[in-house]
Amino acid sequence: MDLKAGSRWTSAVSDVEVVVVKAPDEGLALSCGGAEMLPHGSEKSGGAVEAGLDAEIAVGKRYADVAGDVELLVTKGGTGSLKVGDEVLDIKAAKPLPSSD
């Protein structure tokens, strides 16, 4: 799978859609709910979200891996944990603002 910044992906098993904000040079497997994600506009293959990978994905949130190599922006929310390879992505924490004191 060729993840590039700006590319759009849709889940094969739920309503989740994402835009890649940041991605490494090497190809990675991006999945949602246990099924590989499809390029935006592709026809869904059907199926169901795997048990244990049924987290609610919030629209407008950024999801990233621990190392910070991959970052996704959710454009359409739904059910199904986002994964890159074997790592489940979490909501990216906001950076603290500097003190005004």
pLDDT per residue as tens digits for the range 8-22: 999 999 999 999 999
Q: What is the pLDDT of residue 101?
A: 67
Where exactly are the structural domains of the chain?
8-91
Please, what is the Cα angle at 22 between 99 and 27, to 5 degrees? 150
Q: What is the pLDDT of residues 24-76, one digit of tens each?
A: 877 788 999 999 999 998 887 778 888 889 899 999 999 999 988 999 999 99
Sorting pLDDT into bands at 50, 70 and 90, what band is 96? confident
- Residue by residue, DSSP assigns 31-94 as EETTEE-EETTPPP----PPTT--PEEPTT-EEE-TTSS-EEEEEE-EES-EEETTEEPEEPPP
